[in-house]
Structure 1
Amino acid sequence: MSRVAPSAHAQGRAYATFDGHRNGDFAPYVFVTEDYGQSWRSIAAGLPNGWSVNVITEHHRTPELLFLGNEIGVYMSIDRGKHWTRIKSNLPVVPVDDLAIHPRENDLIVGTHGRSAWILADVTPLEHLSAELLVEAGQLFPQKPVTMWAQKGDWPFYGATYSASNPPRGALIRYYLSDDQEKGDPARDSVAQESENEESEPDSEGFSLTIEDARGEHIRTLTTPSSSGINEVVWDWRYDAPYERDEAPNEGGGGFGGGPPQGPIVLPGTYTVTMDVRAQSYSTTVEIKADPRRPMTDANRMTRQEALMSLHTLAKPIYEATEAMERLAGQLTEASDLISEHDELPETLTTELEALEDDLSSIQSELGTVRSNAGIAADIQASSTLPTSDQLWQVDEAWDAMPNLLEQLNELILNRLPAFYTMLDSEGVRPHPGDAITLPSRRRRR
C-alpha cells in the first residue's frame, strides 16, 4: 500500500493506492471505500497501464476533485475517479511521490522524485469544472480578492536576496472556453485539452472581456486568449489607455514619456468582469484591495484619483496635437524645399511660409509646457499621498492652456495651411510626380 487518504467530506470514505512494482506488477491500483473499509471499489479506469501509483489526495473544499501521482506525473479527476486527465503544463515526465494542497493559497504542491517541488498555483478553476460546465460555450471562474501591493525592488542587493518571482501584478482572471464538444465524453476530452496544455484553434467567432465598476461605468476592455480550455489574463488594475497608436512610441505611463500609453490605476473596490462568447454573456466579480501598508483616507484617495482621471482625459488631445504638429512641420518643410526650387516667386509666399513656421513653433512651445505639466501624472500615480498643491496647480495649468492652443492649431489645419497651398498651386508650385516609368521589350525564345 502506497497511500491511504481519508476523506474530509464524508464519514467512512477513504482512498487507497497500491504499488506492486517490487513484485514486477506495474499496474495502477486505486480504490475508494464508503463504509470504513468493509468494501472497496476500483477507480483506476482511465489511468495508463504500466505505471504504479504512489499517492492520491482529495481537495479540501471540493470532494469531486482528486489528484493522483504516479511514475510519470500528476493526474486529476473532476468526478471522484470516474475519469482521469493528465496534468502536463510545464511539469516534466517525473515520478511523483507526494501531493499536498495549500489550504490558504489553494496551490497544488507536487513532490517529485529527484526533480524538486513543482507548484500549480491556485487550482480554483479546477474546483468548478464539471461535465455540465464543459458543454457550455464558456465560463468565468470566481476570482480571488487581490491586494494592490506596492512592490519593492532588491536594490542594492541585486542577485543576493534569493527571493522567488512575485505573482503577476494585477488581478488574474481565469475563464473557460469550449470547443464544439464533438470528440466524445466532454468531461474527459475538454479537460484533457486544458490540462495537457495542447495548442488549439482560436474561437472563430471571438469574444471580449470587459471590466466595469460598481456603478456600471466602463473601465477596461482586455484582449484575451481564445484557445479552448482554461485560459487566464492579467488585468493590471488600469483603465483603458487614453489612445492607441500603431508604432511603439517613446512615451510613457499616461502618454507623457517612458513607455506605451496607460490608463490610471483604479480605486479599491469591487469590479465586474464580463465575457461575451458565441452570443452568450458570462460574468463574475473581483475585489481589489488597497495596500494596508499605505493608509490613505477616502477623501484624499478620491482627490488623487480625480487628478489622475483629469490627466487621463487630457492625454488624447495632447497626443493628437503632437501628431498634428509633427505632420504640419513636415508639410512646411516640403513646401520650403519646393519654393527653393523656383525662381521669381512672389515674396508673399516666403513671407506666409515664415509666418506659418513661426506660429507653429510658438504652438509647439506652448504644447511642450502643457506636456510637462500633464507629465505630473506619473508622480501622482506613484505616490500614496494627497497630491500637493503644486501638482494640482499643474493639472489646472495644463487644462487651462489647451483650449487656446487647440484653437490656434485648428486655425492652421482648417484655414491657413489650405489657403497657403492654394497660393502655391496658383504659382505652379507643387510636388513633382516623378518621371514616367517605361516598360522594356519582352524577350522571347526563338
Structure 2
Amino acid sequence: MAPEGPLALPGVYTIRLTVDGKRYTQTITVRADPRSHVAPAALPAQHALLTRLSSGLRASWADFKPVAQLRGAVTRLAAGDTASAVAKAAKTLAAKLDSLAGDSLSDARELWQPRPTAWSLVDLNSEFAFELDAQDNADHAPTQAMLALARSSCEELRKAVERWRQFVRADLATFNRLLSSHGVATLATPPAREALCAP
C-alpha cells in the first residue's frame, strides 16, 4: 500500500467546500489518538518529517515524468535507424536518461536491498516511500538517524534534479542542434522544477 502522507495534527480546523458558487464551512476538532502516549512535542516533530518525506515522494515522481517522456521521444527518433548520426546520438542520450530516470517497473528497490550509490528518480521515489512507511506505523518522535536519512534522501533528490537541469542545458541543447542541422524537429525543453523536499 502506498503511503498516504501526514495526518492532521490535533487541533481545530475549518473545512470549506464550494459547489456551484455556494460556499459551505464546517469546523472540526481533531484529537490525538487516546492510545498514543508520546510527549506533546513528538507529534509536531513527526508531522514535520512526514511532510518533508511526502514532498520528496511527490517531487521525485513529478520529476520522473518529464524525464521519462523525453526518453520516450528520444527513443522514437532512433527507432529503426542505427547508422545515422541522429540515431547514434539518440542512443547515447537515451542511456543518460535511463540512468537519471530509472525504470518505474523494474528498478523499484525492495526494502531489504542496499541503498544505491547512484540514485535514479525511481530509486528516490522508492526511498521516500520506505521512509514514509517507517513513520506511518506509530506516533513517535523521529530519531536523529531518521532525520539524517531524510536529509540524505532530500540531498540525493537535489543532486538528481541538478543532473537533470545540467542534462537539459548541455546534452539536450547539443542534441537539438544536431536535430536541427539534419532537418529534424527539435525536442521541447522541459520546464525546470524548483520545489524539492519541503524544509
1:311-359 deviation per Cα after TM superposition (whole angstroms, max 9, x unaligned): 222233211111122212212221221532xx5x34x862x33442332
So what's the TM-score if we normalise by structure 1?
0.34
Mapping for residues 184-203 of structure 1, pairs under 5 Å: none
Q: Is the 8 A contact 1:273 1:285 kept in 2?
A: yes
Structure 2 CA distance for aligned equivalents of residues 272 and 300 of structure 1: 24
> What stretches of structure 1 move > 6 A for 4+ residues in a row?
none
Compared CA separation, residues 422 and 397, structure 1 to 2 (3 A): same
The sequence identity of aligned pairs, in percent, is 21
Partner of 1:366: 120
Structure showing the higher strand proportion among its residues: 1
Compare relative contact order (CA 8 Å, sep 6+) and give the higher one, 1 or 2. 2
2:175 to 420, 423, 430: 420
Check if 1:317 corresponds to 2:73.
no
Q: CA deviation at 1:263?
A: 3.8
Structure 1 position 299, deviation (Å): 1.2
Superposed CA deviations along residues 41-62 of structure 1, whole A, max 9, x for unmatched, are xxxxxxxxxxxxxxxxxxxxxx
Instruction: Name the SS of the counterpart of 2:141 in structure 1.
Output: coil
Q: Which moved more, 1:367-376 or 1:307-316?
A: 367-376
Long gaps (5+) in structure 1: 1-250, 254-261, 431-446
1:73-105 superposed Cα distances (whole Å, 9 cap, x missing partner): xxxxxxxxxxxxxxxxxxxxxxxxxxxxxxxxx
What residue number does 1:228 align with? none
Is 2:11–2:29's contact at 8 Å kept on the other side of the alignment? yes
Q: How many pairs were matched up?
A: 168
Distance 1:419 1:339, change over 3 A: farther
* Contact 1:349/1:423 (<8 A) preserved: no
Report the secondary structure of 1:252's partner residue.
Answer: coil
The equivalent residue for 1:399 is 154
Q: TM-score, normalised by structure 2?
A: 0.69
Structure 2 match to 1:13: none
Q: Tell me by how many angstroms 1:428 deviates.
A: 4.7
User: 1:308 aligns to what?
Assistant: 50
Q: Partners in 2 of 1:279 and 1:323 — Cα distance?
A: 34
**384 and 313 in structure 1: CA distance in 2 versus 1, 3 angstrom threshold:** same
Task: Indicate the residue corresponding to 2:39 in structure 1.
Answer: 297
Residue type of the partner of 1:335?
A: L
Letter in 2 for 1:372: S
CA distance in 2, matches of 1:329, 1:367: 13
Matched residue, 1:330: 72
Where does residue 410 of structure 1 map in the other structure?
165
Alignment CA distance shift 1:292-1:280 (3 Å): same
Alpha-carbon contact 1:349-1:424 (below 8 Å) kept: no
Structure 1 or 2: more helix by fraction: 2
What's the CA shift for 1:277? Answer: 5.3
Q: How big is the shift at 1:400?
A: 0.8
The structure with the largest alpha-carbon Rg is: 1
In the alignment, which of 339, 352, 356 is matched to residue 93 of structure 2?
356
Report the counterpart of residue 195 of structure 2 in structure 1: none
Match of 1:273 in 2: 15
Do the aligned residues in 1 keep the contact of 2:15 with 2:26 (CA within 8 Å)? yes
Q: 1:429 to 1:277 in 2, by over 3 A?
A: closer
Unaligned runs of 5+ in 2: 102-118, 186-199
